[in-house]
Each structure stands twice: as C-alpha cells, then as structure tokens.
Structure 1
Amino acid sequence: MAISHDPANASLAHGFHAVAPGDLAAVVTALEMREPPEYVRRLQPEPDVPLQMVRWTDCEAERYRLLYRRIGAPWLWWSRLALEDAALEAIIHDPAVELYAVIDRARVEIGMLELDFRTEGACEIAFFGFVPKATGNGFGKWLMRRALQRAWRDGIERVWVHTCTLDDPRAVAFYRAQGFEPKARFVEVFRDPRAAGLLPADMGALHPLIVD
C-alpha cells in the first residue's frame, strides 16, 4: 500500500478511537534517507541472484493490477485497485515514474519496483515487493540495492518509503537495515478493500473483515 504525499503532522489523542464497520485502520511509518548508504556507493561483487529487472514503459492497467494483486493481496494492498484504467495509466506512464518487474529464470514476474520522481528533489519508493513464494530468499536486499542505485541520481536530496501495520511485520526492520530512518508515524483509516469488493474476503487473514 502506498500514498502519494508526505504524512501530515496531526496527532490523535491517547485512548480508543472508533472505526466504522467496513473500515480498516493502519499505523503508517514513513522512513527516509538523505544520502546514499556506503553499500550503494561502493562497487563490489554480489552473490549470484537468479533474477532480472525489466523496465515496464508502456504497461497496460490490467497487467499492472495482476502483478500488484499477486504481490500485495495478502497484505491488503488496495490503492491502485481503486483507480480506473485511465487514472492508473496516467501514473505508471508518467515520465517521472519508473516501473520495473522482477522476473526469474523462467521469465515469470515475481516482484515489483516503482520509483516516483514527481516531487522535485525527492524519490519515493512507491511499491516494492515480491510474491509470497519469493520472500525469505534475500531477494529484498538485492532489489533494494538496485532501487537505491536508480533513486540516487543528480538532483535527488531525499529518498523515502513507507510501510504500515497491514504489511509484513518485518518491513520496518528491513528498511532500517538498508539505511532508512523512521521520520513520522500516522494513522490511516480507509474502506476495507474486501468490503469494497477490491479483494477477496479471504485475504488478510490477520485482519478480520467486520462489516456490521
């Protein structure tokens, strides 16, 4: 799941806050780095990884959604599923957005990287992930290195990413290990994508669907 803007500074009072039936609430953590880490600046041998990155320059909306669902459905990624074709393609075809599919040796698409340069001086790692069967193999470090090599270009002063409590619980620790530092947290409340018909009801088993 991703947002297209920096988090607001507003804060909630301590205590319980009602969430309407059919809605979900998530705590979002935004992380950033202000200079490339040493492991990105250095050229050094890397372990052989049986993957390639392929730039998608003219990806159709439905092809994008297919990979997006395969990666994000278990974590209830929903924001791009709520867009009409024209709105989605306006983003992923924007010259300031770089979209990559990660493919394995069988030429199967198993991961995604999306870099958003639409804000001057900044790059957002908007989407980053693998299908469930490809996680736990060290591929995340490989992909992050390549993400940062592409993100840190002339004129970029800040690279940022965010994750939330619906995502893999290891995500914040992973991003910190790659050189990001937490800068803000906030609460996002939104229509449950299962209740909205964007995802099957059996997705996100750790987050019960409550509609009434």
Structure 2
Amino acid sequence: MSETITVTTWYLEQTSRTDLVEAPAPENTPLQILLAEETGPEFARFLYTAVGGPWTWTDRLPWSHRQWQEWLDRDGVETWVAYVAGTPAGYVQLEPRGDGRVEVAYFGLLPQFIGRGLGRHLLGVGLTRAWDLADRHPALPPTTTVTVNTCSLDGPAALRTYRAAGFRTATTETTDKPAVPTPGPWPGAHT
C-alpha cells in the first residue's frame, strides 16, 4: 500500500485590475524581467524543473518535447523571466483560457534567489502582463479574471505572496494524494 499525504489547494482570483497590488523591485539588485519571445521546450522545462523541483512539481515531468512545444505554441501563452546579473532567477508563465480568464500557470524563483525580495516584484510584473494580455494578442478577449492556484506542497511563502499581490480565495479543496519524492531539478538532486 502506497503512502498518501493530505494536500490543501487554494484557488485564488483577481476579478479587477484594481485588485493588483504591485511591489517595488529590490534595491541594489541588477534585475531585468523580460518576455521570453522564443521560449522552446528545453528552456520551458529548465524553468519548470529548476523552480518547481523543490516543491514537488511533477505533472509535466513526463511531457514529451512535442507536448511542451504544443503548449508553448498556444496563442497568448507567455513566459516572463527574471534575470539577476544575467542569470535566470525565476519566471511567471501566463495561460489564457479563451473566455477572458488568464491563469498564472507557473510562478516561482530558483532556490538561490528565494528570500531576496524578487518574488513579489516578479509576480506583480506578471500580473500586469496578464491584465493587458489581449493588447499583445488581439485574438484574445480582454482579461476579466486572473487566477492562480497554490497548494500546501508549494513554498511556505506562496499563499502569503499571492494574497499580498491582491488575490482572494475563490475555493479551497483538500485531497489525499500519493506521496512522491521531491524531484529536484534533476533525478537525485536532493539525495
């Protein structure tokens, strides 16, 4: 019998651009946040594993190169990457739902950049981009709602960070899931 754990998931939303609470960039940090205009599967998977590995992001690990490419090719999917002194520090990935909702599909920092004041600023930039997504993708309807979900397996500051950025809880769900090892950015990274 496999071990299970109880996981709480919070589904959060902003229903108006005025909900957004931005945070300033940290001082004395050579920070740039850029749209990755030619994100390929390799870079997308690098960000996913480097940021999500410590927090048990496993749902996309089995994806093939083709699955990554098909997801990235969807109209309106955007990847905004934070760089500190030229080094990728984190990202926020936006996914439009086609009905005015835009989901923050993934957001986070690489481990060495956590706790340096970058996350709230990066999230604010990503949310601003979510609210004006239709300006860059005219085939999409204007954004009416921005959503994100986080769970008890995510970083300890995740829920607090989302709430500080202006998200409200829409629903909460608690489920039992199979316990899986934290994958790290590559197999065996945390052993």
TM superposition score normalised by structure 2: 0.80
SS of equivalent residue, structure 1 residue 159: strand
Name the structure 2 match of 1:51: 31
Matched AA of 1:34: T
Count matched residues: 181
Mapping of 1:72-111 within 5 angstroms? Answer: 72-105=52-85, 107-111=86-90
Name the structure 1 match of 2:104: 125
Pick which of 157-166 and 185-194 moved more: 185-194
Closer, same or farther: CA 91–25 of 1 in aligned 2, 3 Å: farther
Closer, same or farther: CA 82–26 of 1 in aligned 2, 3 Å: farther
Q: Mind listing any 5+ residue stretches in structure 2 that lack a counterpart?
A: 135-141
Cα pair 2:13 2:167 within 8 Å, conserved: yes
Closer, same or farther: CA 163–38 of 1 in aligned 2, 3 Å: closer
Matched AA of 1:36: R
Cα pair 2:14 2:20 within 8 Å, conserved: no
2 CA distance for matches of 1:76 and 1:119? 28
Matched AA of 1:26: V
Name the structure 1 match of 2:118: 139
1 CA distance for matches of 2:127 and 2:102? 9
Name the structure 2 match of 1:15: none
2 CA distance for matches of 1:193 and 1:151? 32
1:181 Cα offset (Å): 0.5
Q: Please, what is the CA RMSD of the aligned residues?
A: 2.9
Structure possessing the higher radius of gyration over alpha carbons: 1
Cα pair 1:102 1:111 within 8 Å, conserved: yes
Mapping of 1:185-196 within 5 angstroms? Answer: 185-188=172-175, 192=179, 194=181
1 CA distance for matches of 2:100 and 2:13? 13
Closer, same or farther: CA 193–56 of 1 in aligned 2, 3 Å: farther
User: Any idea what the Cα deviations from partners look like across 1:65-123, whole Å, max 9, x if unmatched?
Assistant: 12221111111111221211111111122222011221112x11111110111331111
Matched, 1:116 2:95: yes
Of 3, 6, 30, 2:11 maps to 30
Mapping of 1:149-164 within 5 angstroms? Answer: 149-153=128-132, 155-164=142-151
Matched AA of 2:11: A
What percent identity do the matched residue pairs reach?
A: 28
SS of equivalent residue, structure 1 residue 68: helix
TM superposition score normalised by structure 1: 0.73
Matched AA of 1:76: T
1:191 Cα offset (Å): 5.3
Pick which of 167-176 and 187-196 moved more: 187-196
Matched AA of 1:179: G
